[in-house]
Structure 1
Amino acid sequence: MRLRTVLFTTHLWLGLIAGAFIALLGITGAIMAFEPELEHARHPHLWYVTAPPGARPLSLAQIGVGVAHAFPADTITAYQASTKPGLSYQVGLSRSLVFVNQYSGAILGQLRFGGTDVLNIIHQLHTHLLFRGLGDLGGKIVTGAALVLMCMLLSGVYLWWPVKRISIRWRGAATRRSWFDVHNTIGIVSLVFLLALCATGIVMGFEGPSTRLFYRLTGSQPVRRPDLHAPVPAGAQQIGPDSAFALARTAVPGATPFEVDLPARDEAYFIRARYPEDLTPGGRSQVVIDSYTGRVLYAQGSRTAPAGARMVIANRAMHTGDILGLPGKALVSLASLAVVVQVVTGLVMWLKRSQRDV
């Protein structure tokens, strides 16, 4: 049997078997590329504020007093400070997330935990198919679908090569040749981006082995983060979150702290920070500070992290498109939609397989 025939048959049956999962990854991936922007658009009254000319944000302590007064039966667990003047601050409570105008202290509203969050459902569909049981079976299926898509992309290039046609001549939806042209053209135009998405997604799917490989390739070693639990000094008082933020700025110069988890009596502060070039929503710099002495127990900035850690960070940023900001997200979203087009056109061609016009 000729290699072309083997690859064509493999390409076809992989698509028929895994097409639904691949299309699901494409649809959810296209949406997830703009996850923060969509969240802001869903609740604009919570996320957007107007900064008065020359105004400075209130301190976290001042914001905390206002939130504690408004929600006396709840407990503050975290603060999230916006790194953009037009976005609000958030205060984490045990049962909800409260949005606050950082200039006036006005409470804009809250989102309760445990409710139906469409974007979170889409996120979990993309990463775990909403099922983490049986040893994260959902995540393994997602990784398997990415591997199948990689095989289909490579076999598709081989099948396209003799034709080398990058054009669409639409002869009507009833004609198989029309769908063939769309399948070929969209596939080859989006090939590089889809290969990058597949490769980075597979690396994330095999996170443990790939992380160890990155450290081995770079000859670097991971920095172990200390245990957040620590003994409580007799009669000592914990420093406030504003002091913790100030210490974090010193620990990772040039980075802006934006999230702090309030520690229990026997815990340290855990702070996330972001450099200007770090376009990921969660930030890639972390600081741990003794909540009594203010001593920096751990500090890892995305600029100075071990080379292996920086490779992990870069891989994830490439997969999400964050590495290029909004243009990168747009490319990821369009490439994800191209996957859906490939699945649909491939299925239509198979349904019209009795036509011999190709």
Structure 2
Amino acid sequence: MRIQGLRMPRDGQDALVLTGGNLMVHCDPQNGEVLGTRPRRGLWWQTFVKLHLNLMLGLWLWWPLRIFGFRKGAGFRRFNLDLHSVAGLCSSLFLLVVCITGLTMRHLHLEHPRSPGSHAPQAGAERISADHAVQAAEKALPGARAAAVEMPPPNPHANYRIQLAFPEDGTPAGRSVVFVDQWSGQSLAVHSAREGGFMERYDNLQLSLHIGAVGGAATRWIALFVCLALVLQILSGYVLWWKRVA
């Protein structure tokens, strides 16, 4: 099976992941020992990702009574209605960010960088190693760490595609790309997340905004509470519907 790509270790405890066909192989980056394998597709969590991307197209908020707090001495049904409304009110701004970034990721995302053409190799030339390509990419983008390597397909004009991450990217996958010639090791094209106009910067940042990975631990806690508020809305909304139907 031909190796199609590599996911570089994120830290000293992480594994090197090789992908090819329908298989992911986890290896010790120090000695190359195979730590385990798993299928690349068909996992249960990938099914949930597909449902999220294809079915969650928007969010409709509705509270006609404009409830901003809990009423004292109210019964369960009234408390449940207040809980539903307060949870929606407190999380509405952040859910709006989630909805906007979700829509733009689905419909307004920019085109991924395309690999430039390269010269045909000379007779007897050998393809450079993945290590050589990573070194060339990290040299082209000082301060960035190689996160993933896409191996060139069996085509003499194809290139290595190296994805790199800056410390401020908010995602270990990185948002910068460097294309490296598979024969000479020359950096042919550099796409840095630190450069570009407003739309390019927003395109690089929207996933981090969507999942709450911007701003450090504080933003992650906010994202956690927003998710909990959404769960409360779903549960309390179901109770409101059930009580009304019953």
TM-score higher than 0.5 here?
Answer: yes
1:81 equivalent in structure 2: 8
Deviation at 1:326, TM superposition (A): 5.0
| Runs of 5+ consecutive residues of structure 1 not aligned to the other structure | 1-73, 130-141, 212-221
Assess, with a 3 A threshold, how the Cα gap between structure 1 residues 185 and 169 changes in structure 2: closer, same or farther.
farther
Deviation at 1:353, TM superposition (A): 4.4
Q: Which has the higher strand share?
A: 2
Deviation at 1:94, TM superposition (A): 3.1
Deviation at 1:328, TM superposition (A): 3.1
Deviation at 1:338, TM superposition (A): 2.0
Select which of 48, 56, 61 maps to 1:122: 48
Select which of 273, 276, 296 maps to 2:187: 296
1:196 equivalent in structure 2: 97
Alignment of 1:1-358 (within 5 A): 74-114=1-41, 116-129=42-55, 142-143=56-57, 146=58, 148-149=59-60, 152=61, 155-156=62-63, 159-160=65-66, 163=67, 165-167=68-70, 169=72, 175-207=76-108, 225-227=114-116, 231-263=120-152, 264-266=154-156, 267-353=158-244
Q: Distance in 1 between matches of 2:4 and 2:107?
A: 32
TM-score (norm 2): 0.85
Calculate percent identity across the aligned residue pairs.
27
1:248-274 CA deviation, whole Å, 9 max, x = no partner?
Answer: 011111101121122124211001000
Deviation at 1:204, TM superposition (A): 2.1
| Runs of 5+ consecutive residues of structure 2 not aligned to the other structure | none
TM-score (norm 1): 0.61
Q: Distance in 2 between matches of 1:170 and 1:315?
A: 43
- Compute the RMSD of aligned alpha carbons: 2.8
Assess, with a 3 A threshold, how the Cα gap between structure 1 residues 241 and 119 changes in structure 2: closer, same or farther.
same
Q: How many residues were matched structurally?
A: 244
Larger radius of gyration: 1
Q: Distance in 2 between matches of 1:101 and 1:90?
A: 9
RCO greater where, 1 or 2, for CA within 8 Å and sep 6 or more? 1
Q: Distance in 2 between matches of 1:350 and 1:169?
A: 23
Q: Distance in 2 between matches of 1:354 and 1:292?
A: 69
Residue 87 of structure 1: SS of its match in structure 2? Answer: coil
Deviation at 1:351, TM superposition (A): 4.1
Q: Distance in 1 between matches of 2:44 and 2:32?
A: 29
